[in-house]
Amino acid sequence: MEPTELTAGDFTEHSDPFELFRLWLADAEKTEINDANAMSLATVDEFGMPDVRVVLLKGLDEEGFVFYTNFESQKGQQLLAQHRAALCFHWKSLRRQVRIRGTIAPVAEDEADEYYASRPRGSRIGAWASQQSRPLPDRETLENAVAAYERKFEGEEPSRPPHWSGFRLTPVQIEFWHDRPFRLHDRMRFDRESETWRKTRLYP
Ligand SMILES: Cc1cc2nc3c(=O)[nH]c(=O)nc-3n(C[C@H](O)[C@H](O)[C@H](O)COP(=O)(O)O)c2cc1C
Ligand SMILES: Cc1ncc(COP(=O)(O)O)c(CN)c1O
């Protein structure tokens, strides 16, 4: 890949990891074919066995990174029990990676209500119909559940299911990685130190 404005430049000068993350996400929105906000979410189960799946980043503020899911799903149960997780973004079009580790807390009820209300009606009904991560005998069972909830909420706005909400990951560590020739990549890690961030360059 020829270096461009997006693939060259020195990100290692940045001192605010949130600001740098926002710049990289904005770049990725321009270059990824879809879902630039997709991130791998790593958790551990009650036996310390790792698990990982992709979710979408739906909010970012000074407290952290927000995503939405079913709290009774595998990830929901793992996050409620362990309160810790890691995220990984890989933007292939930019040859960039961001890794984030931190603590997990559910978002406030009103924050979840507001996001749920912004989703298409079909997705809101779907959140009721899907018993995410539990066995489903056949597709028809799911479609019947969707039809039943469509009848239940006919003529009204579906309320947010009590088991559907968001988690916020508050980072303690954020690492930025950028591809460089001959695998001699640039890596910069930020470690939270109460109100500030300590910055460390890492061997590739
Ligand atoms: C691009 C992409 C985005 C996804 N976004 C979400 C999401 O935001 N929330 C969610 O619950 N599942 C999302 N999924 C589905 C999850 O990867 C996963 O299959 C599901 O949440 C069940 O995970 P669990 O059994 O570990 O709880 C997404 C999948 C893909 C491929
Ligand atoms: C099951 C599920 N829940 C939630 C989401 C989050 O995205 P949205 O709120 O835009 O549906 C996704 C995105 N793929 C998803 O697959």
Mutation test of ligand 1: which of 35, 54, 90 has the most ligand atoms closer than 8 Å to its C-beta? Answer: 54
| Residue closest to 69 by CA, chosen among 161, 180, 184, 194 | 161
Q: Could you tell me the residue range of the domain that residue 169 belongs to?
A: 11-116+165-201
Q: Which of 96, 124, 180, 183 is catalytic?
A: 183
Q: What is the ipTM of this complex?
A: 0.99
pLDDT of residue 7 exceeding 90? no
Nearest atom in ligand 2 to the alpha carbon of residue 56 is 6
Residue 183 annotated in active site: yes
Average pLDDT over residues 89-103: 98
Give how many domains the chain has, as a whole number: 1
Distance (Å, rounded) from C-alpha 124 to C-alpha 136? 19
pLDDT of residue 9 exceeding 80? no
Neighbours of 139 (CB within 10 A): 8
In 32-129, the DSSP E strands lie at 38-44, 50-56, 59-61, 64-70, 84-91, 96-106
| Residue 92 maps to a domain | yes
Q: What is the pLDDT of residue 189?
A: 98
Tell me the two tokens of residue 70: 């079913």
- Which of 8-17, 24-33, 37-46, 159-168 is the least confident region? 8-17
Neighbours of 22 (CB within 10 A): 12
**Is any atom of ligand 2 closer than 6 Å to the C-beta of 68?**
yes
| Residue closest to 184 by CA, chosen among 196, 172, 202, 200 | 202
CATH number for 88: 2.30.110.10
